[in-house]
């Protein structure tokens, strides 16, 4: 059975991007996973050189793992980009300033290069919408105009390389605002360019107990971030360790044309386990989720 889990950057090795990365991939493969989601540098404006992309590709291939998706960047990362030396980032897909917005678009094209080299069909993108951006026509125009300028500019590059953008639901706005945002984006762009990344934990915070984002936009589902919480914080727990209704979620995914495996976006630092033990536990849970989806699609829901 195919299963997928996220590769995070854990700075617990002097050379994580080399020996540490290989150890992480070895443990993921040993646990039984067949696919990964590449997540290091997901939010930052870090620029991948061609030599790095080649090394990452060759390293992943050496463990006979496939890449289900990668995480792109909108250029905004207050942890690594904003310091006492600066209060803003220099690459921002939402910026009204042309140079800054175009730099954000170049960053996205860099992630397209990474996705294409790794054989990933899509890349996840954060769109930083807020409720106030929908309070008036002027506010919406100010937010969506630069965003659409960025997406318009990267669309030809994505189509040329066969990489789709999967817009992720976050939790900085209401469920109503996210549904409105997805409606605007999906109405403007076809499914050959942009789809939905359904993040279970984020939607549980936004709409506890509900899956209206799947009900309304399941036809655009191309990527998943599967993790659990208690409806309050972004805990990134393994499924069944929080309060999410996984029977509802798996049936919702099963009702779409999404191509499994789903991607576990779970972090081992949430558990008092050695990495090897965590990945083994995560794989057993991934098999359980995949089995539930298969059962729902066959009409034999567990």
Q: Note the pLDDT of residue 299.
A: 86
Query: 97-115, pLDDT tens digit by residue?
Result: 999 999 999 999 999 999 9
Q: What integer pLDDT is reported at residue 11 of this predicted model?
A: 77
Residue range 4-298 forms a domain whose CATH class is alpha beta
pLDDT tens, residue order, the chain (302 aa): 999 999 998 777 889 899 999 999 999 999 999 999 999 988 888 899 999 999 999 999 999 999 999 999 998 876 666 666 666 788 999 999 999 999 999 999 999 999 999 999 999 999 999 999 999 999 999 999 999 999 999 999 999 999 999 999 999 999 999 999 999 999 999 999 999 999 999 999 999 999 999 999 999 999 999 999 999 999 999 999 999 999 999 999 999 999 999 999 998 899 999 999 999 999 999 999 999 999 999 987 66
> What is the predicted pLDDT for the residue at 45?
87
Would you state the pLDDT for residue 9? Answer: 84
pLDDT at 83: 62
Residue 84's pLDDT is 61
- 227: nearest Cα among 268, 264, 189, 174: 264
| Per-residue pLDDT tens over the stretch 135-144 | 999 999 999 9
- In a 3-state reduction of DSSP, which class is residue 290? helix
Q: What is the 3-state secondary structure (H, E, C) of 144-187?
A: HHHHHHHHHHHHHHHHHHCCEEEEECCCCCCHHHHHHHHHHHHH
- Domain positions in the chain are 4-298
pLDDT score for 302: 63
Residues 6+ apart with CB under 8 A from 118: 38, 53, 56, 57, 60, 67, 70
Cis? peptide before 261, omega within 30° of 0: yes
């Amino acid at each position: 059975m195919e299963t997928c889990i996220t590769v995070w950057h854990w700075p617990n090795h002097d050379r994580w991007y080399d020996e540490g990365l290989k150890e992480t991939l070895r443990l993921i493969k040993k646990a039984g996973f067949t696919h990964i989601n590449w997540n290091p540098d997901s939010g930052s404006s870090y620029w991948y050189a061609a030599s790095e992309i080649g090394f990452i590709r060759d390293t992943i291939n050496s463990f006979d793992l496939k890449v289900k998706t990668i995480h792109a960047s909108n250029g905004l990362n207050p942890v690594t980009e904003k310091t006492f030396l600066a209060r803003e980032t220099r690459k921002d897909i939402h910026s009204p300033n042309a140079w800054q917005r175009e730099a954000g678009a170049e960053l996205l094209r860099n992630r397209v290069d990474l996705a294409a080299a790794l054989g990933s069909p899509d890349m996840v993108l954060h769109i930083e919408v807020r409720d106030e951006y929908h309070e008036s026509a002027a506010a919406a125009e100010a937010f969506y105009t630069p965003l659409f300028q960025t997406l318009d500019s990267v669309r030809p590059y994505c189509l040329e390389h066969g990489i789709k953008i999967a817009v992720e639901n976050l939790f900085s706005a209401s469920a109503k605002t996210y549904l409105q945002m997805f409606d605007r984006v999906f109405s403007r762009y076809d499914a050959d360019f942009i789809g939905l990344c359904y993040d279970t934990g984020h939607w549980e915070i936004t709409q506890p107990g509900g899956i209206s984002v799947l009900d309304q936009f399941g036809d655009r589902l191309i990527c998943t971030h599967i993790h659990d919480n208690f409806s309050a914080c972004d805990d990134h727990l393994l499924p069944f360790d929080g309060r999410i209704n996984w029977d509802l979620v798996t049936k919702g995914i099963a009702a779409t044309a999404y191509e499994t495996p789903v991607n576990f976006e779970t972090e081992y630092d949430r558990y008092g386990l050695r990495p090897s033990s965590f990945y083994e536990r995560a794989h057993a849970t991934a098999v359980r989720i995949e089995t539930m989806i298969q059962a729902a699609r066959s009409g034999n829901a567990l």
